[in-house]
Amino acid sequence: MEKVKHMSQKQKNRRKSSQAIWIVAGVAVVAVAALIGLSLSASKGKAPDPAAPKARSDQELGAKRNILGSDTAPVTLLEYNDYLCPACAQASQVVPILLGDYIAKGQVRWEVQHYILHKDAIFGAEAVECAGDQGYWWSMHEHILLNQAKGLTTKLTKDYAKELGLDTAAFNKCVDSDKYVPLIQEQHNGGEAKRLTGTPSFFINGRAIELKTWNDLKTEIEKELKK
Amino acid sequence: MSLRRLLQGILGLSLIGLAISLYLTYIYTSGRVAICLTGGGCDVVQHSPFAWILGIPIPTLGAGAYFLLILLALLGARKGERQATYVLALFGVSLVGLLFSAYLTYVELFIIRAICSWCVISAVIQLVVFLLAVMAWRQTEQELAD
């Protein structure tokens, strides 16, 4: 008699505990549903304009800030760039076409540094670095150069950040803080030390190269790869 | 594995999770750039429209969850009539963490299209903690029945 009573108590305990776990699981699911609802509604108003050109992140492009391509690539192409120089705008379109395959194969990495020839070009350099904080260095780089004809002001680059769907509050704060001026100055000084005569200027593994046509870039890269 | 071991596992993993969450909370609120183990992606995720809920950064929510897990793992380790309740709560909190991490990983992969290494580590921790919590619950259930 005593034993039967004990058994039923055991079963009762068991049933109670398995009931409890389902209740807790149910509460957990409801809590997560609420969190997801909040997350989706919080993201709604802030999501980028769907009509905006879809910016590609540096991660998608295989870039880290101002360096596009593999860390271990045997050839480094260094370009000094000014955001108001017309040939620089050309370079940003031509280099990916000429060297896209080499970059994709991990043979070449393309590094862009700032060299300020035109006074207002610094607004472009600052904007690109601030976009880099959000993982969109290259999208901003290309966007500014494509819109070069509009000139460059801080107001304009803030519009670009919005067009690319960046976090505008963080971007504007970054640009207004001038936090990247020392970095830009440092890169510019590096260029001066190399006695640049203009932009864009190219270096392959540290060696200055003269370009007569864009195709010379490919020839020089091939030469370096054969070394 | 003994209940004690399971709870120790949860405690250790949650401490790692808490450290990551606190680091990222600092990054989010100070407007700095996170050190990203995969080289990129953390920046994109941090500035995406999904990074904050009601003015709270997601990593702060994570820190809260890990703090709760630590507390419950410590309380659950002590023998007593409340032990089962603490382990049950541990199961509940870890389930919330697991499901919400799954949602965030989905958002990263298919909406933001960027992956941040810290988020992946945290999601894996949540998964393992959940499994340990389920095992811990089965242990206490057994003890209740005996």
DSSP string, A151-200: ---HHHHHHHHHHTT--HHHHHHHHHHTTTHHHHHHHHHHHHHTT--SSS
Which of B50, B88, B145 comes nearest A43 by C-beta? B50
The rounded distance, in Å, linking the Cα atoms of B28 and B43 is: 10
Residue range B46-75: mean pLDDT, rounded: 94
Which residues from B are below 8 Å from A170, CB to CB?
31, 47
Does residue A93 surpass a pLDDT of 60? yes
Do A29 and B46 count as a contact with CB atoms less than 8 A apart?
no
Tell me which residue of A166, A151, A149, A129 sits closest to A55, measured CA to CA.
A166
The rounded distance, in Å, linking the Cα atoms of B29 and B60 is: 10
Do A39 and B103 count as a contact with CB atoms less than 8 A apart?
yes
Nearest-CA distance from B16 to chain A in Å? 23
- Name, in order, each residue with C-beta under 8 angstroms of B108's C-beta and a sequence gap of 6 or more: B45, B114, B115, B116, B119
- The pLDDT value recorded for residue B112 is 86
User: What is the dihedral sign for C-alpha A77, A82, A85, A89?
Assistant: positive
> Could you tell me the pTM of the whole model?
0.80
Q: What is the pLDDT of residues A145-192, one digit of tens each?
A: 999 999 999 999 999 999 998 999 999 999 999 999 999 999 999 999
Q: What is the pLDDT of residues B80-118, one digit of tens each?
A: 888 999 999 999 999 999 999 999 999 999 988 888 999
Nearest-CA distance from A192 to chain B in Å? 29
Which residues from A are below 8 Å from B43, CB to CB?
58, 132-135
Chain A's closest residue to B98, CA to CA, is A32
Does residue A76 surpass a pLDDT of 90? yes
Does residue A123 surpass a pLDDT of 70? yes
Nearest-CA distance from A9 to chain B in Å? 9
Tell me which residue of A90, A110, A113 sits closest to A100, measured CA to CA.
A110
Chain A's closest residue to B134, CA to CA, is A21
Measured from the Cβ of residue B36, the count of other Cβ atoms closer than 10 Å reads: 20
Tell me which residue of A147, A149, A154 sits closest to A125, measured CA to CA.
A154
Tell me which residue of B77, B75, B62, B76 sits closest to B125, measured CA to CA.
B62
User: What is the dihedral sign for C-alpha A41, A45, A50, A54?
Assistant: negative
